[in-house]
Structure 1
Amino acid sequence: MASKIDSELKSAAVLQQMQQHLQSDAGKEILAKIGFIYQFVIAPKKLGKDDEMFVVDLKNGKVYQGAYDGKPDATFSFVDDDFVALSSGKLNPQMAFIRGKMKIKGSMSAAQKFTPDIFPKPAKL
């Protein structure tokens, strides 16, 4: 059962698509390949101000709003626009980390599997 992501963030639309994507055959391949639980802390403009939390569970194929009940494999912190750029492939995860646009806590090996490839490709208009 998909839970509604209720947020004003642009990232929320990406995460909502991700939720549907994980139900597809391509999504099931991602689950088999990655199998980690990622938590995201996303702020509208500046981290630490009005942050929202989301979980992308690539073990069980769930995406939801809120904190993970337990210890996620990796937690990423972003500003909304940087998350959208990264998920669409416009921002390289390594460069985002080096430039301080993405903060990581938790397992670095789990974090390294977090790439734009796990996100559904935006529909071509």
Structure 2
Amino acid sequence: MAESTQLKSEVLLEQMKLHLATDAGKKLTKEIGHVYQLNIAPTKIGFDEVIFVVDLKKGEVKKGPYEDGKPDVIFSFKDEDFIKIATGKMNPQIAFMRGAMKLKGSISAAQKFTPDIFPKPAKM
């Protein structure tokens, strides 16, 4: 059986890449100025994680670990929980308290990582 581990998060992060190139995205980069590493697991935190970097200093989204020193925050989540948080269906603080999201690094930087930074899904 072919292993199709396309994460839903990957699609959202591709949209984020395009979003950061827009004026609204450039404004975000100026306002936030932090680097977030996202370790996203298909089903269980810590297993088979796919790593993305959302660099809100440079306005970039890349697949793979951050290579310019240390990111401000490293988040770990399951794919479905990341989608819920990014789309505003789950409160990030509640996700953290329930263990649906883990973080290492700056708490103040982590608090700026809200659903508002993500592009809104296109209305059909």
TM-score when scaled to structure 2? 0.94
Paired residue for 1:20?
18
Which secondary structure state, in structure 2, belongs to the residue aligned with residue 55 of structure 1?
strand
Distance 1:48 1:21 in 2: 28
Question: Aligned letter for 1:11?
Answer: S
Query: Percent of counterpart pairs with the same letter?
Result: 61
> What do the CA deviations read for 1:74-111 (whole angstroms, capped 9, x no partner)?
01000000001111111111111111100010011110
Cα root mean square deviation, aligned: 0.8
Paired residue for 2:57?
59
What is the deviation of 1:48?
1.9
Question: Aligned letter for 1:52?
Answer: V
What is the deviation of 1:116?
0.3
Distance 2:116 2:96 in 1: 17
Question: Does residue 118 in structure 1 map to residue 112 in structure 2?
Answer: no
4+ long deviations beyond 6 Å: none
> What do the CA deviations read for 1:1-31 (whole angstroms, capped 9, x no partner)?
xxxxxx6111000000000000001101100
For 1:24-39, what aligned pairs fall within 5 Å after superposition? Answer: 24-39=22-37
Q: State whether residues 36 and 75 of structure 2, in contact with CA within 8 Å, keep that contact through their aligned partners in structure 1.
A: yes
Corresponding residue pairs, total = 119
Gaps of 5+ in 1: 1-6
Paired residue for 2:71?
72
Gaps of 5+ in 2: none
TM-score when scaled to structure 1? 0.93
Which secondary structure state, in structure 1, belongs to the residue aligned with residue 70 of structure 2?
coil
Which secondary structure state, in structure 1, belongs to the residue aligned with residue 11 of structure 2?
helix
Q: State whether residues 46 and 76 of structure 2, in contact with CA within 8 Å, keep that contact through their aligned partners in structure 1.
A: no
Q: State whether residues 77 and 102 of structure 2, in contact with CA within 8 Å, keep that contact through their aligned partners in structure 1.
A: yes
Distance 2:45 2:101 in 1: 10
What is the deviation of 1:124?
1.0
Question: Aligned letter for 1:18?
Answer: M
Which secondary structure state, in structure 2, belongs to the residue aligned with residue 89 of structure 1?
coil
Which secondary structure state, in structure 2, belongs to the residue aligned with residue 123 of structure 1?
coil
Distance 2:30 2:122 in 1: 24
Distance 2:93 2:105 in 1: 16
